[in-house]
Amino acid sequence: MTISAETTFVRKYIDFLKQLNMYLNHFPRHEKYALAQAIRQDAYRVFDLMVEGQKKYYKKTSLTELDITFEQLKSKLLLAYHLGYFQFKDGKTDSKNPTTMSEKRFAVLSRMADELGRMIGGWIKKVKEDKKW
């Protein structure tokens, strides 16, 4: 990954984190320290692994762990969606149109996560080609 690609990736991930945190802040109160916290921890761990992957010469372990942790993060987001946690606003169900809001929030995060996942996959492919795997 080149310098400009790295900074683009970091910028996009920061945008994803900002969006994610905004939605997690609306999760129901009983989930603030359970699933929401687990999602945050995975999200921050992915960020740590991105930095680690950029700094190491041999990147196999870091990028493998990055890929796995990112998949775990996406799985937890899917679980939160199926449990209906994206339909909450300020810890309470939004009575106006909870299903639409939930679908919209999940769609936004899914689009961003898909793009980031493709970037991670491209990074892994490039590192393998450069024989730094």
The confidence score (pLDDT) of residue 64 equals 96
Helices (H), the chain: 3-24, 35-55, 60-82, 98-129
The confidence score (pLDDT) of residue 4 equals 60
SS3 1: coil
- The answer to whether the beta carbons of residues 54 and 6 sit under 8 Å apart is yes
pTM of the model: 0.88
The confidence score (pLDDT) of residue 104 equals 94
The confidence score (pLDDT) of residue 96 equals 72
> Each residue of 20-60: pLDDT tens digit?
999 999 999 898 889 999 999 999 999 999 999 988 888 89
Beta bridge partners of 89: 92
Distance, CA of 104 to CA of 90 (rounded, Å): 17
The confidence score (pLDDT) of residue 3 equals 55
What are phi and psi for residue 95, nearest 5 degrees?
-75, -15
User: What separation in angstroms does the CA of 76 have from each of 70, 120, 132?
Assistant: 10, 18, 31
User: What separation in angstroms does the CA of 97 have from each of 41, 45, 47, 104, 130?
Assistant: 30, 33, 33, 11, 50
pLDDT classification of 2: cutoffs 50, 70, 90? low
